[in-house]
Structure 1
Amino acid sequence: MVGRTSVVAGAVLVALATLAGCANAPTDAHTGSSGPQELEPAAVAPPGPTAIPTGMGAAEPDGTFPRTVTHFGGTTTVPAPPQRVVVIATGQTDAILTLDVVPVGVAHGDDADLVPRYVQEAFPQYAEQLAAVASVGSRQSPNLEAIAALRPDLVLANAAASQDLYPVLAEIAPTVLVQGTGVNWKQDFLLLADSLGMQERAQDFLDGFAADAAALGAAAGEETVSFVRVTADRTRVFGVASFTGFVAWDAGLVRPEPQRFDATSRDLSPEELALAGGDRIFYSVQGATTEEQAAASATVGNPLWQTLPAVRDGRAVLVDDDPWYLNAGPTAARLVLGDLEATLLTGES
């Protein structure tokens, strides 16, 4: 044990020295870019992958350990069923809890709770354990010493944000990198589950989700659905190739013409708010949990927003920012689908 601790401590110190002065650009669960993107027509095929990429995953069947997992950072051997898992990336707390695995350490997002409120509410049976989860720093700059101190037997992260850190994390514990970004949520859930020896269970979840999404689409009619996120300095509509866009695609829901693009999102200027329109608008405002709080934002208070037919007629729905636009996980997908169903089938808002 002493030798292992010395190796870990040395690796952390080397990493801190190597990475000193390096800044990681903040990334969003769904964007991967801070600026506008050139838009292309959305494809007929699924907007994101639905299986583990060829050549990745483990050859061993579920429940068999040791298992060797090929992933977006390389190849990792997981010697035994993980008991002390640290998660760094957005949506991974959601994903492992969906498989009834509680992390011992979690990285937090900017201005976000360590464990998102929707996750706490979705898994009340783990309330005591979630209250004891340790912080391992921010998702953009995880605290390597804090990770090592937890003695994890598996670390999970996204290649999109943690590729440079992978060699150091792998010195601390077996580490598996999924791809990251919201449109890859199904693939990433399966790969994460494979590292835990639970791929079949994750696939069953996705199969059930797809069936329920199709049932919603069959009953929902032809109303168009618009997806909008408002922060202090940005207003975006989300395209087909986004987390929420993928959920809508699974359900066969109709998107407004300006949002049928094959990209994550598009920034709107205050003069372009008409492009946020749809028969139903599902919008979030960062930090707002009530319509009164949302109305204080510059976007929702903009007269152009107020003249959108869906807003004027009470068909704009304020949704929870975390599951809809920040945490691309399987339980978040279920919550988004439930909100869509409640609105489109029962008229709730």
Structure 2
Amino acid sequence: MRKRLGIVFLIIAALISGCSSVPQDPPQETGTENATDRTDPNVEKATPSAEEAASNEEGKNSEATFKDVTGTEISVDLPVEKIACLTEICVDALGLKPAAVTAGGLAPEPEFYGEEAASLGQIGGSFFEPNLEDISLAGPDLVIGLEGTHEGLREGLAGIAPLYIVQPKSMQESIEFLQHMGQLTGRIAEAEAAEKRLLDKFNFYKEHSPKDKTALVMYGSDVNFGIDTAGSLVGSVLAEVTQYPWPAPEADGGHQAGGMAYSLEKVLENDPDYIFVETFTFSPDSQPLSEQFKTNPLWSRLSAVKNGQVHEMRTSVWASGRGTRSLGIILDEAMSILYPELYKKAVE
């Protein structure tokens, strides 16, 4: 889940954290055991050349050393085949079937593993404190975690697998992570194809969008909510395809990993045409965030509310994804609501 969860977690604690056509991403088939079949849908598998095959053969049992976002040096044997995912960008990358995942998240979504997600190794505990024994049982070659959340696990994982901490703050950084995973897993051609498909989609929308509607992404579990600023990952992508007048605070250099706490008074100042809502649920009887706001008189004054343009989105994708497949889904879902005719043209 994006780093902005830290903001929501603190709030809760205080109260109680360029192309002309773009293919639509259909749901992936489930039931296959071949991890290489778990690539992004609509991407043809590249048949390696003789030179690539020789290079891949030479790469077996070699070692790669690199630094993660914390500056920690990590060494892994190549190719990396079994990965434990503590953050969802790992599930998102290349369709590589994870050795283990935390509960919920992207894996059960139809574009990813659907019903097959239940057969993946499950990591108990919480997002903030995952069960180390479950990770060990999965026998991973590499564990991928989120900056600001999982660094403290490095010592406990020392005898299990290296911990690779990530924190993409822009689409370009998500692409760079994809490229790196392609190198580590020997799926370079797949990574290049996935990158191209996202950029084709993004550039099409950016070039053709009239950008005449304002949008806002808001998130939370109750009325003490936050927003994605234009300096966040999702906010920065939407800002390229429509009006997104929610700058990150200057104190953060105009660029945040996640978002910031906000108020309805401030939302009303810009009065967006469309609001995308991510509800964080912590109990079965949790109400959608948009329902909770109905008792607030300021909520009813918003243009998006008056015009029926408040949309509850899939939190697992919009709040947790971070990777290139999730960003592609977010673009399609947002544009199908903001500019349905443009979206229709894109997927034809």
Q: Could you say whether these structures have the same fold, taking a TM-score greater than 0.5 normalized by the shorter chain as the test?
A: yes
Deviations 1:89-129 (A, max 9, x none): 2432222xxx1321121234xxxx2x436x431135x7436
Output the CA distance in 2 between the equivalents of 1:179 and 1:319: 22
Mapped pair 1:106 → 2:101? yes
**1:241 corresponding residue in structure 2:** 231
SS of residue in 1 equivalent to 2:125: strand
Change (3 A) 1:326 1:92: same
**1:229 corresponding residue in structure 2:** 219
Deviations 1:182-230 (A, max 9, x none): 7743333333343323345324322321221121123321222221113
Range moving further from structure 2, 168-177 or 334-343: 168-177
Q: Percent identity?
A: 19
Change (3 A) 1:190 1:144: same
**2:203 corresponding residue in structure 1:** 214
Output the CA distance in 1 between the equivalents of 2:326 and 2:234: 10
Change (3 A) 1:129 1:322: closer
Match of 2:66 among 70, 82, 101: 70
| Structure 2 runs not aligned, ≥5 long | 12-54, 344-348
Range moving further from structure 2, 266-275 or 146-155: 266-275
CA contact (8 A) 1:237 1:259 kept: no
Change (3 A) 1:166 1:258: closer
SS of residue in 1 equivalent to 2:109: helix
Q: TM-score, normalised by structure 1?
A: 0.69
Kindly tell me the number of residue pairs found equivalent between the two proteins. 285
SS of residue in 2 equivalent to 1:120: coil
Change (3 A) 1:158 1:194: farther
Deviations 1:277-323 (A, max 9, x none): 3122222333499xx845531x2432211111122112232212221
Output the CA distance in 2 between the equivalents of 1:327 and 1:29: 12
SS of residue in 2 equivalent to 1:122: coil
| Structure 1 runs not aligned, ≥5 long | 1-26, 37-60
Output the CA distance in 2 between the equivalents of 1:167 and 1:85: 18
Letter in 2 for 1:280: Y
Mapped pair 1:134 → 2:122? yes
Match of 2:327 among 320, 326, 333: 333
**1:282 corresponding residue in structure 2:** 276
Q: Which runs of 4+ in 1 moved over 4 A?
A: 31-36, 180-184, 257-261, 292-295
Match of 1:91 among 89, 92, 97: 89
Compute the displacement of 1:181 (Å): 5.9
CA contact (8 A) 1:281 1:310 kept: yes
Mapped pair 1:315 → 2:304? no
Change (3 A) 1:180 1:32: farther
Output the CA distance in 1 between the equivalents of 2:246 and 2:84: 41
Mapped pair 1:29 → 2:3? yes
Output the CA distance in 2 between the equivalents of 1:70 and 1:244: 27
Change (3 A) 1:166 1:276: farther
Q: TM-score, normalised by structure 2?
A: 0.69
Output the CA distance in 2 between the equivalents of 1:342 and 1:187: 27
Output the CA distance in 2 between the equivalents of 1:223 and 1:107: 37
Match of 2:140 among 139, 152, 160: 152
**1:346 corresponding residue in structure 2:** 340
